[in-house]
Structure 1
């Protein structure tokens, strides 16, 4: 019995250690970094084409130093294997610093910095995740072209369901995201994956 308990304890400690290693680290800019986030030249049209070439969709995440909600997203949502694996498989995610100075090229060709892009596009919350179409439209800004925007921090299922809704092109159908999300939650509850309070 003691050997069984010792093995169980060792396994739990190994899993906890592995999860710690997988956690996002802080970069020099103070943002949490996921090793699977894409590093690009931040030319939005090129990034959309690259994502499509990889069979994915482009998502931009705006974050900032000291953002407790960004920390929560990285430590409790993106660390969840179900969430992380789905996003990695279906999306190319590029991280932007809401107050950063890296150069960005908007879809309309205007050269910006990360911070002037955030202002131009009207993004004021962190994290904000912006979902782009499969093809880069000409003459539009990112804000005009976005098929969906998720401002602020949400729980696992709202977060994951938004990515699923975009991947399934829910924005082209009659079922609004809130209806889609409610339906998925009801299906998860019926399958015993959620309690009544979730």
Structure 2
């Protein structure tokens, strides 16, 4: 009986305790050790990412976002996803409703919330993957090689991180992300599509 009660109490505490993979900052956004604290001058951030041999990744989040919670609790802590981020990406976090000034690639300086409107971001989290070189006069949204609006599972997120890091959008134009992801699902399941 004691064992049954102990098991029940442990299960209850495990379910009742919030799952937190990243701490919340003063701005209410999740903070991880792989996010970079920069001046949010995107051309400078891109240059720094390139110098490190990494890709610039912008993550737009907001306070109280349940989908951001999901990504930080369930997806980003996954060892494969975390490793892919740490090895390949220079991550800059932006706040959908933030007032911190950023400098876009087109030279415009504006608040994070104004940038979100300018770039047409409606959902959080939104991950914006940038190329190594941004065309002159382009905004971050125009230059993006991929944009992932919303929360997705570990497999989809890992596949997108891999697809961008390997520049598959350039090397195999016949296999867009959806086809690549479908192929990866089949390969992970050893050919079993059910």
Query: What interval of TM-score do these two structures reach, taking the shorter chain for normalisation?
Result: 0.7 to 0.9
2:65 to 64, 67, 78: 67
Which residue does the alignment assign to 1:177?
Answer: 177
Which residue does the alignment assign to 2:117?
Answer: 119
Q: 1:53 to 1:68 in 2, by over 3 A?
A: same
Is 1:129 the counterpart of 2:120? The answer is no
Q: Deviations over 1:19-64 (max 9, x none)?
A: x998200000001111120111111111111101001000000000
Q: Deviations over 1:114-150 (max 9, x none)?
A: 0000000101100000000111321111111111100
Q: Secondary structure at the match of 1:190?
A: coil
Aligned length: 176
Which residue does the alignment assign to 1:91?
Answer: 89
TM-score of the pair, normalised by structure 2: 0.86
TM-score of the pair, normalised by structure 1: 0.84
Runs of 4+ aligned structure 1 residues displaced above 4 Å come to none
Q: Deviations over 1:147-180 (max 9, x none)?
A: 1100000000001101111111122222110000
Q: Secondary structure at the match of 2:35?
A: coil
Write out aligned runs for 1:22-61 (5 A).
Answer: 23-61=21-59
| Whole-angstrom distance in 2 between the partners of 1:137 and 1:56 | 18
The alignment's C-alpha RMSD in Å is: 1.9
| Whole-angstrom distance in 1 between the partners of 2:52 and 2:19 | 27
Which residue does the alignment assign to 2:108?
Answer: 110
| Whole-angstrom distance in 1 between the partners of 2:134 and 2:44 | 8
How far the C-alpha of 1:105 sits from its partner, in A, is 0.3
Q: Any stretches of 5+ residues in structure 1 without a counterpart?
A: 1-15
| Whole-angstrom distance in 1 between the partners of 2:188 and 2:103 | 41
